[in-house]
Structure formats: C-alpha cells, structure tokens
Amino acid sequence: KPLAPPFNGSNEKACVFNGKMYFIIICYVLGTTWTQEIVDLLLHNGDAKACMRAPTVQRIPFLEIQAPPPIPSGLELLGSMKPPRVIKTHLPIQLVPEGFWKNKCKVIYVARNAKDNLVSYYHFDRMNLTQPEPGPWDEYIHKFMRGKLSWGSWYDHVKGYWQEREKRNILYLFFEDLKEDPRREVERIMRYMDLSVSDDVIDKIVQLTSFKVMKDNPMANYTFLPKAVFDHSISAFMRKGEVGDWTNHFTPAQSQMFDEDYARQMADVDIPFRTSI
C-alpha cells in the first residue's frame, strides 16, 4: 500500500539500501518514540545530557522520511552517522531492506493492542497536518479495519513480524508490558542489545522514559516541529500513554463490531495482546 506523501519515493531506495546498522526500532506508528529514548539512553549509559544533544528525529533517523531540500532524508541522515547507528521505521516486514537481515541488525519491534493503537493513531492523524484529515471517528475505525491508513494493515504488520520473530531474531515487545513493568522490559532490551549497565542506570532510564518526563522533554515530545507540521493545540503528541483508553472512545456496538472483525483477521495467529492491565 502507498505511503503517505512525505514518505513517497524513499521507500524504493530503502529497499536496496545495504549500509550496515546496529539497531532498528520498528512499530506500527505508535510506541516508537518511547523505545527510541530507551535505546538511546542504554547506548549512553543513562546519560540524560547526551540524550538531549538533539531532537529524537536527528538522533535516530526515520528511514522513510523524505522532505524537500535542504532537509535531509532519513537515508541521508543515516549515512552521516557513526556507529552505533540506530534507525526507526514503520515499514511492514516485506518492505524491510534485505541488507538489514544480511547484516544481522538488531531489530526491536513494539506492538500495541489494536484498539488503543487505533485511538492513538486517530488523535495523531488529527494533529499531524502532513497527513490527510482523519474524518469522523466511526469512519476511521473502518479505515483501520480495512488497512486504509498509512503503512497499511495493522493486522498484517503485527502478524508479519510475529511470525518471523524467531527466524529473524526480532525482539518482539508489547506496549502493555512496557507500561506494566518498565524496568523488566528495559532490562530485556539491554540484554538483546548485548549491553550491560548498572541497576542504578536502569532505574534512571526508567525514570527518564516515564510518560510524565518524556511529555516535558523538548527533545522527545515533538514540540520542536512547527505548528504547520504537528499542531499540539489539536492534540498533544504525547497525549495519554495509557492502556485501555479505547474504552473512552468505542461505543458498545463499535467494540462488538471491531472484536468480531479482529477475530476473523487474527484467526491464523495467537499473539498475546492485552486491552487492559
């Protein structure tokens, strides 16, 4: 499925990109920034100052992004970085450049339950003025179910990485697990990255990547982008960060319809998503 306009064109180049990287963070849009901050802090031994050196988008380039000059594309930013290099992408697994796998890059995938993902994506599309207007909530639900949003079907996205997680050595994380026990999940990420930091540093990273702290972090909350791109007066980029916010948006009828369609689309896998914790 086509990518949104700011990302058109770079996808084709990305598919033949074979530059060596170390860590790739992948999400179906939501949960990426949180994981980026955790990874960056682990690589810098919990040094908050080092992780304030630049906005998230400069520290960890977005592979698909392709803006008009003089703004560098994600690939151009990546090419100018020194190891260890970290990149983020929302690409479905079938579009991930083969060089990522050949070079045995570490791939961290973060999945969020469908209902909360849909709610967050809806509010993100409202404030992201580079995206098409999301339209009414009820229509947006159907767009999500049909895979008519940027980066395609959520169902295919989460299933694709889940089914390849062992073969490709993908660290498959759940947003709900990160919320429930962030320390445990930060330690999992640390071990996967073949790093070792002290318990005190882990505690510091957990604190620095809490929702409250990140919401006020100007290098991570995307307030550095102009209002013409992200309009925080419509909805904050860091909105709630909760599990179960879907209950404030879905009517009982919408929830039942969504659940029935979900059961059909996810019948071929058993991914342990949770809609509450």
Structure tokens at 87: 């990149």
Query: Which residues, 6 or more positions from 14, have their beta carbon under 8 angstroms from its beta carbon?
Result: 63, 64, 74, 75, 89, 91, 95, 97
Q: Which of 44, 90, 232, 249 is catalytic?
A: 90
Note if 142 is an active site residue.
Answer: no
Closest CA to 107 of 23, 192, 20, 189: 23
Q: In what order do the strands lie in the sheet with 23-27?
A: 86-89, 23-27, 106-111, 170-174
Structure tokens at 183: 């320390």
Q: Which residue bears the tokens 């909350």? A: 221
| Percentages (nearest 5) of helix, strand, coil residues in the chain | 45, 10, 45
Count the residues in the chain: 277
Residues carrying an active site annotation: 90
